[in-house]
Each structure stands twice: as C-alpha cells, then as structure tokens.
Copies of this chain bind each other. A is one copy, B any other.
Amino acid sequence: MEKTTKVSSHRRTAPTSRRPVRRGIPSSREILSSERPVAHSPSIPREDRVRIIPLGGVEEVGRNMTIVEYKDDIILIDAGLQFPEEETPGIDYIIPNTKYLQNKLNRIRGLIISHGHLDHIGGIPYLFKDIGNPPIYTSQITKAMIMKRQEEFTHAPKLNIIEVKTQQTVKIGKYISAKFFTIAHNVPDAIGIILETPIGNIVYPGDFKIDRDENGEPLNVKEYGEIGKENNLVLLLESTNAEKPGFSISEREARDNIKQVLTDARGRVIIGTFSSLMERVIEAVSVSEELGKKVVIDGYSMKANLEIVQNFGFFNPKKDTIISAERMSDYPNNKIVIICTGAQGEENATLMRVANKRHKSIKIVPGDAVILSSSVIPGNEKSIQNLKDNLSRQGAIIVHSGILDVHASGHACQEELKLMTKLINPKFFIPIHGHYFMLRNNATLAESLGIPAQNIVVPLNNGAIIEATKEKIEVLAESAPANYVMVDGLGVGDVKEVVLRDRQMLAQDGIFVIITVIDSKTGRVRSSPDIISRGFIYLRESQDLLKQTRHLIVRATEEAIGKMHPINITYVKEVIRERVAKFLFQKTKRRPIILPVLIEV
C-alpha cells in the first residue's frame, strides 16, 4: 500500500490484460530478477576456504564490486555504479547491494580500487557509510579522481585513502596481503590486484587491455608471466569484450588514425570522447601539437580530469597548445582542434549542445570534421544517431569507428583474454564484468586453454557465493542479497520497485484523479466532481469525454452509497474506480492509474 491519507485512495488492482503493443517496459518480474531467496547470511567461510562474492557486475556492465573473504578477513575490490536502465525511470544510478556486509563491518579490512572510472569508484559516496568507512587502497591518480568526485558530496565522511604502487605488497588483513601490478587501460594509473591468501592468490586485473608496441609485440607480458609462476588459485577476469575475436585496436592505431584525419583536415576537427578516456585526450593533444595545431578543451569533467593527470605529470602540453574557445578565431580553421565530451549524445555534454545549436562559443561550420572517438554504450544508440544526424545536417563530416578505427577499446578482446589467462595460469577461473552471455563466452575461452570445466564458475547472478579450497571451487546454494539499490536524488535505496512500477505505469497512460465531495447526511454528490489528469489524454480537446465521465462518477457514487449509513468510503471508491476504468478503457483503450478521492462534508 503506497498510500497514506486519511481519506484513503484505494490502490488500483493490476491491469487484467495488456495491450498487444507495449515495448520497452519489461514486467516487474524482470526488474526483480536479481532478487532471490536468501537462506541466511552465512557467517565466516569454513576453514581454509576463500569466499568470493561478486556483489555487482555479473548481470550487467557496471556497478562492479567484489568481496573476497578468508576466515575473518574481508577485502572489497572496487565499488562502482551502473547507469539507469529503461526499466528504472527517473533513477540516477544503481549501486551494489552491500546488505551482506551489514553484520560484518568489523571484519572489513579495506577497499581496493583498480582505477578511476565510475563503474569502479562511483558507488563510494553512496555506500561508504553503510560499510563503515574502511580504508581505501589505490594508486595516485585514482585517489585524486575519487577525491575530486567526493567534493560533490559535502556531507560525506572524510575518506582514508592509502596510496599504493605496482610491485608493492601491503598487508591488509590478518591473513591477506595485497600486491599490485601494471595494467593498460584507457585511464592512467590503473592497477591489477593480487590478494595473497594462505591457500593461494586471488588475481584481479580489473579492466584491462594488452597493448602492443610498434612491432605489434604485446606489452607487460613479462610481468604477467612472473605473476604466473606464483600460486594463483583464482583468476577473476573481465568479460566486456569476450564476444570480440582477435586483439583490440591498439591505442597506437587509434592515435595514427586520428592523426591522419587531423593531417587531412581542411577545416577544424572536433574530437568527441568520454571525459574519462584520459589516455585518448592526452594522445589527441600530443598529435595536435606535432601538427602545429591549437587545442580547445571543452567539458567540465574533461577539464577536471585533465587537471588531475597534469598535476601528477601524466600530461605535459606545451604552454601555448591549449587555448580558450574564445581565441579560436585568432587561428585559421585548419589549425584548430576541439576536444570535448558528448560522443555518446549525452544531453548536456558539449558535442550534443553543439549539434543542437545550444553551445555558446562552438558552432558547426560546413567542412568541420567530427571524430566520434568512443564506443557506443548500449542504450545510447538512439542519442548517438540524433547526434550524427544533427551534426551532419549542419554540414559536418562525421568520422566514427565504423568508418575508421578512431577509438580503441580499453577492454581486452578474446586473444588478450586468453593471453592473460594463460600467463596468470590460475587453478580456478571466474569470469566477471558483463552480462551472463558475455561471462559464458569468457568461460568458453578459458576452457579452450585447458582449464577443466569443473574449475570454472560462471556466476549466475550478482550475490552468488563462490567458495574455493585448494582443491575445488563451488557455488553455495544461498546467495547474498543483490536486488537493486537505486540512487534517486538524495535517496539511496528508498525507491522501491513499487515506485518504479508506478513510474512505468504513469509513463504509459498517465494518471486520472477524481475528487468527489459528498454530503454525508444525504449521501448525494455536492456539485460536479473534479478531475485532474496528466499524461492520459489532451484534456482541452476531450471535453465531451470528461463530461460523460463526470456524469458517470455522480451516478456511480450515488448508486454505490444508496441508503448506506455510515458511508463505506473504501467500497464507494472501489466502485468509482472500476466503473471509470472500464468506461475510459472502452472509450480510449488506455489504462491510466485511476485514483478516486471522496470527501465527506
């Protein structure tokens, strides 16, 4: 009952049938797919077992968080967020469910963060108090990115972040030490994590790719080969690109292709990318410098990130390379490169504002080349199409990855996944980070390398509790809670599925509120009922329907009341609701949420 008034409005019953064409909004069953019975929160794993629980990131791309538990040591890895989905309207983010940890706060030894992308750090401000504000271990740049973000959360408790370096070993728990290794990703200073437990190592490269040098030789493989000589019990391997054969495009190729476009350009070049793809931005600035072009950086988050990497010496442009948008007119068009956010068609990012002619200082001139240097995030296809259409309408020439490899994914493709697995040479293999089908693909790759099927666990759901001994790996029957925790405005976890279901229904056919004032003595309706409706029909052109509905309401109300005394408000409202619903459906084939309110005077 999501209702609380004294003059109570009755909760509608579920619609009895659906119209045939209802795309996009899945049933609530699907939203709840990750909600499954939790027998109990099993306490400490048995002696000589390491327990691994992916709290997020195995049913989706995003909200990555993994628990590693040995005896009474709990180490957390990453605390990401997921962007909202079609079935979660109005939601800002979805974060990992940390309920499993609730009674174990004193055993949490620390949170290790692999790199500074939101699907790895974004959950921190929302869930950190709930997990007892443990120390965070991470690299220099990632620390700066976490701190930068934390500034937006003025009431959040102060974070205790301990900087770590690759090759360094840190004792984090009573039994567990962490060691860090080099990772290539599209943000600087990403680290891989090795948790050394008494029964073997848990290896977590996080998001990675294996980049190649100018001769096509894979980088960092010697380091990974050294790790492979140790006692590696479990490899947790990302699956984002597990469906993609071969090697990912190298950053070098993307750079060369961008350079080619910049060289050929007879006008300006606008490069749209993610604000978090720092490596790309750094490369694009350096290529522009080589070609003697000036660079305008536009987008708040991109500037903020650049400042961080610049402060730590990862980015060193010449003094006059970067200019302000206002100074563009001082140079010929073919000397200008604009690097900005919005390649995903995000509503308020630079490129989208340029495309929609809402940007203050950047307007498309026919002949501008626009490079979309990012992957298409599922769900953004339509926005990106709009973006391309609107830029193209204004005369821009669009270059995207479908035309030329101007984007290099930061995630390993099949050959890289296989290489990493081979080098680390673990006894057990757990694919993580991706939809089930992607994890399954990753598992198949591991199998192809000779890891026996019984040594591979593909987590069916977030919250799966996996335990490994030295000899075997298994999934427990019970699961950790994993249902959605949604962030909406200031609320974290307060939006329940009933609220989402209402939002979905409201989005479908709107709402129809009926306010009827009854004379409690005579049982008659006093004056014509009031109707408030939103999202149902265009009321101004529906006067006839409203008139008929008002008549119906009066008749239904008075018939329902009859000689009843005292008036059973709940009953009368239900009669009104049912009759109005039927009438409106018959007239419109729509099913707004109908809320009758009765006021006795």
Contact = CB atoms under 8 A, between A and B. Distances in A.
Interface of A: 1-7, 9, 18-24, 26-27, 29-30, 59, 83-86, 89-90, 92-93, 243, 346-348, 356, 378-379, 381-383, 385-386, 388-390, 392-393, 398, 402, 435-437, 440, 460, 488-491, 494-496, 498-500, 502-511, 513, 515, 517, 527-528, 530-543, 546, 587-590, 593, 595, 597, 599, 601
26 contacts: A2-B540, A5-B515, A19-B92, A21-B84, A24-B379, A26-B383, A86-B86, A89-B507, A90-B509, A90-B510, A90-B590, A381-B381, A385-B435, A488-B590, A489-B588, A490-B588, A495-B538, A502-B534, A504-B507, A506-B506, A506-B510, A506-B511, A507-B507, A511-B511, A513-B513, A517-B601
B510 A507 contact: no
B29 A346 contact: no
Contacts of A93: 21
A575 B509 CA distance: 29
A467 to B, nearest CB: 21
Contacts of A29: 356
B540 A436 contact: no
A154 to B, nearest CB: 13
Contact of A489 (B19, B388, B503, B542): B19
A462 to B, nearest CB: 12
Max chain B C-beta neighbours (<10 A), residue from A6, A533, A588, A593: A533
B393 A460 contact: yes
B599 A515 contact: yes
A593 B30 contact: no
A502 B510 contact: yes
Identical subunits present? 2
B382 A378 contact: yes
Given A4-B543, A346-B23, A511 B531 contact: no
Contacts of A537: 491, 494-495, 499
A393 B489 CA distance: 34
Contacts of A587: 490
A476 to B, nearest CB: 18
A535 B499 contact: yes
Nearest to A534: B502
Contacts of A460: 393
Contacts of A502: 510, 534-535
A590 to B, nearest CB: 4
Interface centre among A528, A531, A534 (most CB of B within 10 A): A534
Contacts of A92: 19, 21
A90 B508 contact: yes
Contacts of A489: 19, 588-590
A532 B595 contact: yes
A191 to B, nearest CB: 28
B2 A90 contact: no
Contacts of A435: 385, 388-389
B398 A437 contact: yes
A302 to B, nearest CB: 15
Contacts of A508: 89-90, 503
